[in-house]
Structure 1
Amino acid sequence: MISASVFLNINNVPEKELVAIILYISLFFIIVAVALIIFFYFSRKKIIQKELEKIELILRYQKEQLHAIIVTQEEERKRIAQDLHDDISSKLNIVSLNTHLLSAPNLTESETAEITDNIINLTNKALDNSRKIAHNLLPPVFEKFGLHAGIEELCEEFESSKSVKTHYKNEIDFHDKDIDRHLHVFRILQELMNNSLRHGKATQIWISFFYNEGINTCNYEDNGIGFDGSNAENQKGLGMKNIDSRISFLEGTIEIKSEINNGIAVNFTF
């Protein structure tokens, strides 16, 4: 009954009005379709734009990390070259001069003995300095016995300055097969400790390694002068960029907290 009534009503509608209704309905659907197309187009464009911005940020971050690594490597090369020139080269030059003096005529026995002693002393000093340079590149203890022993020696070296006390605790069994990755952890701690001593004027340093939900975690703290952690510029130095690049290589995370006159607290995973 209802469908028949509707059919009769449609039949009673004048042809022009029916055409107008059909056109309006068609126009409505066309407008809706166009609106949907425009909406999806701009939505898709916005999504693509955000993805491109995200990729650009990632590439910029990777570029900054690469730049930090390159600059750090260049600085390290300059330091090594300076050490070789100032310590090793200069001492070997003096050894060479003393060696030529031994060939001089009419040398007394005491003069010969004195020149020989000078050569031996300078050679020993050159050897000691060359060992120190090699030690800075890759500590022998770290290479032979791993990260745990390397950190223990690092703490002992800092304590030998008599200006800082270190507290080291480890609950992780470091595997020898990961020594290449562990070297990055060692360098991160080395950088943090250098900053604590040089910039933070710290007298106490705490280092602890432990598992946190199956993830290797390190907590690092000092009692130094600290800095304004809310100022992002304070975390953009070359040393921090170097640390960030190493954390990225380790596929870990890092969180740094600090307040003026309240030391620094660093938590990183690897």
Structure 2
Amino acid sequence: MENPIPGQENIINLIVFFVLMALLLALTVVFIYTFSKKKILSEEIKRNELELKHKTQMLHAVLMAQEEERRNIARDLHDDIGAALTIIYQNASRLADEIGPKPVLADGILSLTSKTIQSTRQISHKLLPPVLEKFGLGAALKELFEDVAVGGGVETKCEVEINESHFSEEQQLNIFRISQELVNNSLKHGKATQLSLELAESDKGLYYSYRDNGKGFDLEKASKGLGLKNIENRAEMLNASLKFKTEEGKGMGVLLLIKYTL
């Protein structure tokens, strides 16, 4: 057996040492890179969560400010303008009685004042539905659909089978506002003659299904509209899944699944 060249063994050992050091350095670089990438990803997730939380808080603040403004306007309409109109009507009626047989002008003033009082009351109720506050979501939705039917020319169906204690007052208010927006869209833009709403509970939460037989619309074109944006915002506040099903000339369907918060 040949003896190794003097110094050759040391060279081999040095080569092995440097190879091992290079591998160790490479592993260290890979570890640092992986750790840094995970840290960056974690920080990005946290940042997105904070942004989402901030967005949700801002959205909640905006919607609550809108509701407070609606309450104030509704109370002003009822307490101030409504009361003033009632006094005007009563005084005009007494004045007409003192004049004698009511002239045509007096009848017209009384009729117009009466209609204005009724319109003021209706606007006030839309802004702040007393039925919702006193009797809950189911009664308020049924009243909403009954009022549409009484107006004539529209068939309505409203089935509500829920335990309202499963949902907070704020959730019920958001569901009612979504319904108001949908009904308004169906009548004003869709020219619908049939409206239906079904609310039922499952193990997952509240199932909400709304349909009309109106003109429908192109969802992509309408997605920027204020009405649909309001619905989307309130659905987001409810942490609900929202799905529109509509085409031009084929009516509109809306599905919501609202999870329990208990």
TM-score bucket of the superposed structures, by smaller chain = 0.7 to 0.9
The CA deviation at 1:140 is 3.5
The CA deviation at 1:37 is 1.2
- Which amino acid is 1:218 matched to? Y
1:182 aligned residue:
172
The CA deviation at 1:50 is 4.4
The alignment's TM-score, normalised by the length of structure 2, stands at 0.72
The residue correspondences of 1:1-270 to structure 2 (distance < 5 A) are 14-57=9-52, 59-60=54-55, 62-63=57-58, 66-67=61-62, 70=65, 76=70, 88=82, 91=85, 110-111=98-99, 128-129=118-119, 131-175=121-165, 178-229=168-219, 231=220, 234-270=222-258
- Report % sequence identity: 29
The CA deviation at 1:53 is 3.8
Deviations 1:60-84 (A, max 9, x none): 465456446646765x479759968
The CA deviation at 1:221 is 0.7
Q: 1:180 to 1:199 in 2, by over 3 A?
A: same
| Distance in 2 separating the partners of 1:21 and 1:221 | 76
The root-mean-square deviation of aligned C-alpha atoms, in Å, is: 4.3
- Which amino acid is 2:12 matched to? E
| Distance in 1 separating the partners of 2:244 and 2:122 | 31
Question: Aligned residue pairs: how many?
Answer: 251
Gaps of 5+ in 1: 1-7, 103-108
Q: 1:81 to 1:235 in 2, by over 3 A?
A: farther
Deviations 1:6-32 (A, max 9, x none): xx99x9952233223212222221222
| Distance in 2 separating the partners of 1:182 and 1:209 | 12
The CA deviation at 1:132 is 3.0
The alignment's TM-score, normalised by the length of structure 1, stands at 0.70
| Distance in 2 separating the partners of 1:56 and 1:122 | 52
| Distance in 2 separating the partners of 1:43 and 1:82 | 56
